[in-house]
A and B are shown apart, each in its own frame.
Chain A
């Protein structure tokens, strides 16, 4: 079994490589070790859940992988690029081109419609109107909201907002999507719908997803579960 898994990893291209990442908050006053030498590799097309109790370091690890926070030590290599070596503006540009984010609180731009929210990152990328329209149509259809294009976030339910957030995360055709507790504010049905959508996109379009979650419903759908505790990886299971 172990040999089979090893060969699978060799065949799969690594999208994210985390090497010995340590994060210490307040190093000069009262140091808090959020991550302690985490090693992790995420291959293309994986559907991985990062689990663990509150304070285990899930969100910190996602933030460091997403270039939102700096590691105190170690490195994060995304598609052969060590993101710590990028300047601030290069990091922002790198995120825009390569990483999709889904947040716990949806975080859509309240003054834009669902359609405009989805095309926003593409606009930042400089995509043409026709490309944007086609991609928005495709994604909104994929998340089942084709008839909600002109609604603002305040006119959508929490589940619908999170589906728009998933569509936004995918609009730029990122290498992978980081989702921080994406179902934390959703009811059972919305959670199930969202997971269906993400699983479908993962399966059909080979999109890589990395979640942080407490939610057993998400963990049950993941194909790999990485367990963190006290800033360290304590288990890493691939579910067949």
Chain B
């Protein structure tokens, strides 16, 4: 009977039910939207940065990450690439040979980061060919030419078809010096990357550094960071940790993780304020309901319904409402966030320029990670059930005769 009364009471005052359920529904919607957009933006930022350059996972020779010298390079081993290619979630394995060099054109010399790449694989991983500007063409595997970033080209005052001279120290200390025609200029949003990169085909880079068949990293081409976590778990079983280090995007970009943590902390404050507003909204409705039904509670107490049963009935009623509101909020917010994940909000004006400056697409995508929806719906539901304690307390202290006099 208690369940029957609670359930039927929901349909009794449709306006009150609608207001309560709508408060809960909007609470779920707003909290989900806030969390989903926040996470979506960061995921987008991480995806952009990762896909521009570092990749989600790199396999390195043990010790390379700390020293970053060619002495810590390793042989490109068919067996290793085959093992890595067979890891769940890994689409391809992309080799790189990275080291520093002095780049010179005319009287200007600048330091640069030289990256030897497999052009096709690198393009598949980072979309490098799409970054070409000023009429150059993309590298081919057997080219003896370079592509340089526009920022560095500007510093050197060099352009396509000019010849750049590279000087460095190669593998085991050999002298490395050669000249290359600039085949194309590429542009990165990140000013830091844009001011120092020179791309060479892998074989040309190995020749230059005297590092035949050596590479400094194997970048694993995985779809996204969730796949990357799964791939990492599989890698733990198949890689010799005495010889290799596995570095994932979190290790490679600690500053983004830190930024994300700071943003999440500030978002917690925003969420707290949001929950506070939500709580006051829902509490207002519950308070109104308690006042409106004081007389009825008095009658029920006077005809012999125990306070515990009455309080439980009213609590249950609010919980039913909370549940219905939370479910609606969950379903509608999922639909809305899914739409925003497929059709992100486009950032315009100064904000868009700032995004572009850091190489991030000027979009605000929403995340549709299920945990966001479930957590927020649960939070609001729990908040509602806690607020539903108020009428219980009111009933506990209520004197039937006073309530019926109200």
Q: Which residues of B lie under 8 Å from residue A93 when comparing CB positions? A: 304, 306
The docked-state distance in angstroms from the alpha carbon of A88 to that of B63 is 76
Residues of B within 8 A of A120 (CB): 1, 303
Query: Given A68-B401, A89-B307, A92-B306, A107–B299 Cβ distance below 8 Å?
Result: yes
Q: Which residue of the partner chain A has the closest CB to B306?
A: A92
Given known pairs A92-B307, A120-B1, the reply for A111 and B302 (CB within 8 Å) is no
Min CB distance B382 to A, Å, is 27
Q: Which residue of B lies closest to A69 (CB)?
A: B401
| A96 lies within 8 A of chain B by Cβ | yes
| Residue B12 CB within 8 A of the other chain | yes
Q: A68 contacts B299, CB within 8 Å?
A: no
Q: Which secondary structure characterizes the binding site on chain B? A: helix
Tally the A-B contacts, defined by beta carbons under 8 Å: 60
A156 at the interface (CB under 8 A from B): no
Write out, one digit per residue, whether chain A residues 62-77 have a CB within 8 A of any chain B CB (1) or not (0): 0100101100000000
**Does any Cβ of A come within 8 Å of B300's Cβ?**
yes
Given A93-B304, A93-B306, the answer on whether A111 and B8 have CB atoms closer than 8 Å is: yes
Contact between chains at A121 and B304 (CB < 8 Å)? yes
Distance from B250 Cβ to chain A, minimum over Cβ atoms (Å):
55
Min CB distance, A107 to chain B, in Å? 4
Q: A68-B400, A116-B1, A123-B1 are in contact. Are A95 and B8 (CB under 8 A)?
A: no
What chain A residues lie within 8 Å of B301 (beta carbons)? 92
In the complex, are the beta carbons of A124 and B307 less than 8 A apart?
no
B298-330 residues with Cβ-Cβ distance < 8 A to A are: 299-307, 309
Is B194 engaged at the interface, CB distance under 8 Å to the other chain? no
Query: How many B residues are at the interface, by size bracket?
Result: 20 to 34
Contact of B303 with A96 in the complex, beta carbons under 8 Å: yes
CB-CB nearest in chain B for A64? B401
Contacts of B9 in A (CB 8 A): 111
Whether A168 sits at the interface, judged by CB under 8 Å, is yes
Task: Determine which residue in B295, B296, B302, B304 has the highest number of CB atoms from chain A within 10 A of its CB, and name it.
Answer: B304
Q: Give, as a whole number of angstroms, the nearest-CB distance from B11 to chain A.
A: 8
Chain B, 360-406, CB within 8 A of any chain A CB: 399-401, 404
Q: With A66-B302, A68-B404, A88-B307 given, name 6 new contacts (CB 8 A).
A: A68-B302, A92-B306, A95-B302, A107-B299, A111-B5, A123-B1
Q: 19 interchain pairs (CB within 8 A)? A: A66-B302, A89-B307, A92-B304, A93-B306, A95-B302, A95-B304, A96-B305, A103-B299, A109-B5, A109-B300, A110-B12, A111-B4, A111-B5, A111-B12, A112-B5, A112-B8, A120-B303, A124-B305, A168-B303
Give A contacts to B, CB under 8 Å: 63, 66, 68-69, 88-89, 92-93, 95-97, 101, 103, 107, 109-112, 116, 120-121, 123-125, 168, 172
